[in-house]
Chains A and B, each alone.
Chain A
Amino acid sequence: MSALLRFEDVALQRGGRLLFEELSFELGAGERLQVVGRNGSGKSSLLRLAAGLLRAGRGRVERSPLALADDAPALDRELPLGQALQFWNRAPEQAMDALGLGHLALVPVRLLSSGQLKRATLARVAASNAPLWLLDEPLNALDVDGAKRLGSLVERHLETGGAVLAASHQKLGGDWRKIELEA
């Protein structure tokens, strides 16, 4: 079984500060990995590096097709939610229902609350067919129901051969392998 994400001896510097070095790990199908660490320890940067939005100072990163949910929803504010999601994926309805957004399909994105926006961001990832999900602080702004829905989405994604890398300082539901960043 080949890894969906592989870090080999990776170092990352940002703004002249070394965030981490000699970081190596693999993430295979059906696996979930949580990056933990204090505020500013480089969790989000690690995810952006995994996504290919940042370049490693040293080492190698191999990745399969992926979807990223960070705090930027990337949805057109003036469009109804359903249409805004359709820009990224033709058929987002199932993912919207899975996150409890079905009744908001016609509501403009700019009117959504921050928790609803977070759900919409997660729906964008869930609707993608990418095997690798990168979730940056997925529990931020989510209520109990939202967290539960996210938990079952992750379970289903793992069962179908996907993998999830999440960065969070909170406890995520389920059994997560962990790497800790110290800076």
Chain B
Amino acid sequence: MGAVHLAHDVLDAQLVDRLQEKIGRVDALLLELEAGQPPRVATIVIGSAARAERVGHWFVALRRGWRAMLGRREEHLSRIPFDKVRRIGDTIELDVEEQSLESEHLERWLKEHVVCRIPGAEGDRK
């Protein structure tokens, strides 16, 4: 197995869960620094707060103002240990389930409260 570029091949890659369901992209990658240990890639982060930080301070401030206006407090970030990675290819497969991810909160909420209240939404393929 050759070397994998973190910035080129992992950051921003499409993530899928155990069942190959799309679960967002790698919005941030965190290194773990512990005294006496070499740094290691520890965490994949999915969520809009992680994305906002990549754009810049002004975007983080803008987002904070926007969220305060809407009265939102919860962050809905998923922090997934890097050892959940099963495969790195065109997509990155994680040993997790979509249902258990905090970052899929909006998908679940929309499905339950909006989309599935409209006829014809349920089922697998059209």
A is bound by B: no
